[in-house]
Structure formats: structure tokens, C-alpha cells
Copies of this chain bind each other. A is one copy, B any other.
Amino acid sequence: MIYLDNAATSFPKPERVYTEMDKCMRDYGANPGRSGHRLALQAGRAIFKTRERLCRLFNIDNPMQIVFTSNATESLNLGIKGLLRAGDHVVTSSMEHNSVARPLAALEPKGIETTFVRCDSEGMLDPKDVKRAIKKNTSLIVVTHASNVTGALMPVKDIGALAAEKGIPFMVDAAQTAGVYDIDVKEMHIDLLAFPGHKGLLGPQGTGGLFISEELDVMQMKEGGTGSSSENLAQPALAPDRYESGTPNTVGIVGLGEGAGFILDKGTAAVRKHEAELTGMLLEGFGEIGGVKIYGPKDPKLQVGVVSANILNGDSGEISYILDKSYDIATRAGLHCAPLAHRTLGTLEQGTIRFSVGLFNTREDIMAAVKAVGEIAAEIR
């Protein structure tokens, strides 16, 4: 199987992720932060280690400002809904995933207005358009770091500088970049950073996180046992306890810590170089096949390892099925949970076939994918 669905979930993972998760389950699968016995303390230390590693990756000072969630979607919901109040205005882009667009749509009837800044037909966002969209009551700018449909990188540094200048909280959806691209919350002026654990960070599904700047008062989404201030019916006020009610996903967080450790050891520059090389091969290979349309910037410097394409008017779902069935190549077809992005690209009807590379893909994988698409295109033409 050639796995080119890394934008959904990276696969496989580094061996140390598997090994440490199994060790956690078998050796120290106790309840962290509640009981005081040795196994519980070991579990608690393992969770803290993951916080520290994520801090190193994202240049975050205080590990306690990293809140663990079950995925980036939960992180985005927590940040967006926890911050916004009736009467607020939000600026976002027309390339957002449903994990941003749907919470914002749900807030509309509650008196929170959103401007979706239009990206160009490649899915690129102009910071000047963001600036123009800002109103007096703009209380949040939230954008994806890179489109999950075209891979297009958004100018987060410029938008961050703009947000800082205007004193507007800035949130970034790093679903497609965390672990691969350099993210520096200080340099980029990011106040809320939502990230999944199971994509570029190479951890297991069921993990994600939200960095919350100490300067923001974000309302929690759930209350419950936190192992702290137990005598009190009010939720503790301090992060991360305020946001982490109930038993955490220790085994998942341990796996995420190993994935992050692997990335730190290797360096994001090396990860990015590898993925950019494969992305370039895909773009070049597809570009030479008649009838193949590629969406997005078509330049590995302007995009992550996500390439969306169509073959003439062929059904994206059917072609993805043929790739799986006849070539053993795993891709994703359809709308990729991002209807706004497909409207921007004009692919709301056809969807796209998405090829997304990962750290463990090889040049041979890419050559096989290009060959397969060439054969299918020849059939259709």
C-alpha cells in the first residue's frame, strides 16, 4: 500500500510512538494528576514531557498554557467559542476547513458576525484583504496555516503582525503544518494555536492541543473533575486544569510526545525538505500528464505536501477508488470537509482527488502515483 492520505492522518508513525504507547498501556496506564501513587505520578510526568516538547516546537514559554484536546476540531471550537461574545466580529478566510467555518456559522444566530475574506482561485490569501475586512468590533482573526485542499500556505506572519498592531487576538489552525513548518507563536503573534496530534506531529488519533496566550480569558467548554480545587463546585481558573476536565488520554498524549520528540530530533527543516521534494515531484509529474488539472499554487515553496487534482471531468471519488483498488494507492476524494475552499476553487461539484505526502513516503511512492494517474488519464481521454 502506498499511503498518500497523510493530510487526514499521518501513517505510519515512528517506531518509538508504537513502543511507548504499548509501554504506557502495559506499565503505567494509571490516572495522572489525581492519585499520588507511583504509577499515577509516572503518567503525570509523561504528560508533562509532551507539553514541554510541544513548547520547544512552537516556542511557547509556559507548558501549562498548552491544553490537550481530542483533535484540532475541539481545539478550534474551544478557542473560537471560548473567546467570542455576542456583538463580536470575526475575520477568517474562504479556504477554511469546516472545523473553523461550522463553529463560526453556529455562532451567527448568537450575534457573532463573520467576514470570510475571499482567496484567489489558487487559494492564496492577501493580507491586505484581511486588513480591509477588520471592523471596530473585530475580536478575532482566525486562519488556517495551510489549506487542507490545495496545500496553499497562508501569510500567517503578516496577518499576525497586523493583528498585533490592531490589538486583535489571532488564532491559527495548524492542522496541516504542525510538525512540518516552523511555528513560532511569539514571532507570528499567535494568541491561540490549534493543532492536531495525529498528522504532522506523528502522534495517534484522539490527540490535539490548543495553546492559549496567558493574556486571553477563554471560557472552558466542559467542567468536571480536574484533580485540583476539588472542594469547589466552580471550575478551577488556571490552565491547563480549567480546560482539561476528566481523565486525560494519557496513552495518546504519550504517543504524541514521542511523535513530537521524533520531529525535534530530526528537525522540522529536514522534514520539510523531504516533503517539499516529494511535493515537487508530484506537481511536476502531474503537470506533464494531459487532462490533469492541479489546484493551488503548484509550487512547493508556497504550499505544504498536499496536492489536489482532477482528471478531466472524471468523478474524483471513482478515480480515488481505482487508485486504491487497482494500484494500492490510498488518497482521499471529494470535498475534504471544506466547502468554502471548493467554492473558491470552483470544485464544489467535482471535488478533488487529494494526494498528501508524509515523512515516510519515498520517491518511489511518488513515481508510482504519477504513473498510475497517467494510466488512468490515458483511459479517460
Contacts and interface: CB of A to CB of B under 8 A. Distances in A.
A251 B36 CA distance: 28
A8 B35 contact: yes
A268 interface: no
B1 A196 contact: no
B29 A205 contact: yes
Nearest to A332: B35
Contact of A246 (B3, B31, B34, B99): B99
A218 interface: no
Interface stretch (A16-24, A137-145, A272-280, A359-367): A16-24
Q: How many copies does the complex hold?
A: 2
A191 interface: no
Contacts of A204: 25, 29, 249, 251-252
Given A8-B30, A39-B1, A247-B196, A102 B233 contact: yes
Given A98-B223, A98-B224, A204-B25, A1 B38 contact: yes
A248 B207 CA distance: 9
Interface stretch (A84-92, A153-161, A317-325): A317-325
A221 B78 CA distance: 10
Nearest to A219: B106
A190 interface: no
Nearest to A26: B18
Contact of A77 (B106, B223, B324): B223
Interface string A59-95: 0000000000011111011000000000000000000
A340 B233 CA distance: 8
A378 interface: no
Range of interface residues on A (Cβ < 8 Å): 35 or more
A205 B250 contact: yes
Contact of A331 (B26, B37, B99, B321): B37
A285 interface: no
A246 B74 contact: yes
A216 interface: no
A270 B169 CA distance: 56
A207 B70 CA distance: 10
Contacts of A332: 31, 34-37
Contact of A222 (B74, B245, B246, B317): B74
A247 B8 contact: yes
Given A17-B25, A226-B337, A230-B339, 15 more contacts: A1-B38, A3-B30, A5-B30, A8-B30, A18-B22, A21-B22, A34-B332, A37-B323, A37-B332, A70-B70, A97-B225, A98-B226, A227-B337, A232-B339, A249-B249
